[in-house]
Amino acid sequence: MPFRQAKWDEPIIFEVSDFSKQTFLIDEEFADEVSEALSKVPKSLARGSELKIPNLSEVEVVRHYNRLSQMSYGVDVGPVPLGSCTMKYNPKICEELASDPRITELHPYQDEEEVQGVLEIMYLMQRWLSEITGMDECSLQPPAGAAGEFVGALIMKKYHHDRGNDNKNEMIVPEAAHGSNPASSAMAGFKVVKIPTAPNGETDIEALKSVLSDNTAGLMLTNPNTLGIFESGIIEISDLIHGKDALMYYDGANLNGILGVVRPGDMGFDIVHLNLHKTFAAPHGGGGPGAGAVCVKKGLVDYLPVPIVGFDGRSYKLRYDLSRTIGRVSWFYGNVVPIVKSFIYIATLGPALREVAEVSVLNTNYLMSKLRRLRGVTLPYGENRWRKHEFVVSFENLLKETGVSAEDVAKALLDRGLHAPTIYFPLIVKEAHMIEVTETETKENIDRLAKAYEEIVELAYRDPQAVKSSPTNTSVKRLDVLVANHPKTMAPTYEYLSRLRAQET
């Protein structure tokens, strides 16, 4: 399928400015009061500096942003097989219903009696997510997955503190973990202890034993892990951690492949975070907003952030009565609109959620089976193991033999109208492509992706420069990241860019 991305010579918004234009109309109903009030504003507080916002007519604004949107790419345009990102299709009914003013115009400080509908949705989500994870209660307050991890780590910190175990200051994190795990641990004040991955692609249990101590606060693990491999030793791992009076944290970014098949709570985890914008189909918004949830076992419910939603059999209430709460991690109650979208998604599928896991795993292994056969491609770790939601291949051999890197291959995928997967992650695999097609891709598209890889690899051996000069069908050719990041040429705003341009001329 030939692909040419739109390419508009769209100026930066400051360059289309024209002061003769009529902008969005604001009323002058209170003109007298305005002049009275303005006379009370001390000169030192009044805006004296220039406001550099262009004054455009409505049609210019609309065209500008629509043209920019045409130079962007999302799941509604084509597959986005980014590993660990679970870029599934976002059903349109979820979008439409969640944009109802009876959701979007609700004020967070409205009386609880006036918002029983949204509280009911949140309450049901707390119940459903508890059921899905095998936990006892959830908080929907974390605005994203990483915020959920941070909450989990803070819960561990406070739990050990309350039990007089302030010595428990070490968080064990596998090398292959998502980068947010060690970052969240550090933010919660833990020292991060790394453990390696064994050749079978699972956590190295002997290494785990060797770092366990009385200072161990907990383990952060995702299962299936970032190689897409299920940690079959999970029972032994959780027994080891619990034997040290430490807690098990489940990173839910990879839940999609085991939905309804096996639950973190049954694996021995005590705390779980979920990314509603991955597993439960809320869109990613070009980077956000997401929505997180943190779910815990009985003994930890009192530590959850407040408020959570309670139900007394008659009405729904915001509950602040959690005695050991870590406090608020965000104001208000979480990212409610994505929560509502995920509610509609789960309500629609119900028990068919298990189908999500089964087909996403089937799709993963199908694509993996096709890619691992390709020249220059290897499948490091656990060669004979099935993957779950995602898999990781290495282009190390391709690079050695042709000079074509994982990044070059990624850019060549763009040229074929496909988004590239996650590259150079996990760090334990060289020249990695981490691929997750999810359950929402058709067989035809998966075949297309496999075919694209085949063509690119073949081209790499025949004419490596052709691959290295990609992309050419996207709005721009390959960008210079050195110029972008160099302190002298860095331009994070239009001001910087203008200054650089002035220097050049």
Nearest distance, CB of residue 218 and other proteins, angstroms: 14
Nearest distance, CB of residue 394 and other proteins, angstroms: 18
d(CA 492, CA 500): 11
Nearer to other proteins by Cβ, of 244 and 478: the residue is 478
CB atoms within 10 A of CB 160: 21
**Binding-site residue total for other proteins (CB under 8 A)?**
209
Between residue 161 and residue 220, which ones bind other proteins under the rule CB under 8 A? 173, 178-180, 182-190, 192
Nearer to other proteins by Cβ, of 134 and 252: the residue is 134
Nearest distance, CB of residue 72 and other proteins, angstroms: 4
Question: In a 3-state reduction of DSSP, which class is residue 440?
Answer: coil
Nearest distance, CB of residue 391 and other proteins, angstroms: 12
Q: Which of 294, 410, 452, 460 is in the footprint of other proteins by CB under 8 A?
A: 410
Distance of CA 378 to the CA centre of its chain: 27
Task: Calculate the CA dihedral of residues 479, 485, 488, 491 and round it to 10 degrees.
Answer: 70
Phi-psi category of 232—alpha, beta or left, where left has phi over 0 and alpha has psi -120 to 50?
A: alpha
d(CA 120, CA 113): 11
Between residue 433 and residue 492, which ones bind other proteins under the rule CB under 8 A? 439-443, 471, 474-481, 483-485, 489-492
Does 149 contact other proteins by CB under 8 A? yes
Give the contact letters, 3-42, x = binds to other proteins (CB under 8 A), - = no: --x----x-xxx------x-xxxxxxxxxxxx-xxx-xxx
Q: In what order do the strands lie in the sheet with 292-296?
A: 137-139, 292-296, 271-275, 247-251, 216-221, 170-174, 191-195
Do 292 and 143 contact (CB within 8 A), yes or no? yes
Do 389 and 279 contact (CB within 8 A), yes or no? no
Do 156 and 271 contact (CB within 8 A), yes or no? yes
Nearer to other proteins by Cβ, of 245 and 347: the residue is 347
Which of 444, 502, 425, 488 lies closest to 176 in space, CA to CA? 425
Nearer to other proteins by Cβ, of 104 and 400: the residue is 104
Name the one range near other proteins by CB under 8 A: 240-248, 254-262, 428-436, 458-466.
254-262
Nearest distance, CB of residue 401 and other proteins, angstroms: 24
Does 355 contact other proteins by CB under 8 A? yes
Between residue 89 and residue 118, which ones bind other proteins under the rule CB under 8 A? 89-91, 93, 95, 97, 99-111, 113-118
Between residue 271 and residue 310, which ones bind other proteins under the rule CB under 8 A? 275, 277, 283-291, 305
Question: In a 3-state reduction of DSSP, which class is residue 451?
Answer: helix
